[in-house]
Amino acid sequence: MDDFSVWPPLIGGLMIGLASATLWIANGRIAGISGLFGQLLPPTGTVWWRLIFLAAMILGGLAAASAVPALFSGFQPQAPHLVGSPLWIAAAGLLVGLGTKIGNGCTSGHGVCGIARLSKRSFANVAIFFAVAIATVAVTGVV
């Protein structure tokens, strides 16, 4: 972490914000990824724009990395540090999915789009996300 550069996260954040704003302005839709992805199965009549948006987010990141490789040259993704058995990891994934459904959105939807729209529910959800993340790190010691 000694060679941290602010540029890749800054560019990534700007791209996410631009994509979210573009989807909102052009299509009147909120770019909550869990909602976009979750409504692909079972497919509804609005699948095409969801697929295009998700593909464009992935391709946009790849295009940025290809267009300006110097900004991303120091970035080395690390393998995830998995704690626990596959059963615990699966249970955690199911709980995240359930929480996303109950909370009516995920961190990207509430953190990027909801707060930008000054949604009280999104402010509350983001506060809860951060509190649970801090408590989890405090209890497990895993960062």
For residues 56 and 135, what is the distance between their CA atoms, to the nearest angstrom? 35
**Domain ranges, ordered by start, for the chain:** 1-77, 80-143
Confidence of residue 7 (pLDDT cuts 50, 70, 90): confident
Question: Which residue pairs, CB below 8 angstroms and at least 24 apart, start in 3-7?
Answer: 3/74, 5/71, 5/74, 5/75, 7/71
Position 9 pLDDT exceeds 60:
yes
Across 73-77, 116-120, 129-133, least confident range: 73-77
Position 72 pLDDT exceeds 80:
no
Position 109 pLDDT exceeds 60:
yes
Q: What is the mean pLDDT of residues 42-59?
A: 84
Across 34-38, 112-116, 134-138, least confident range: 34-38
Q: What is the mean pLDDT of residues 97-111?
A: 84
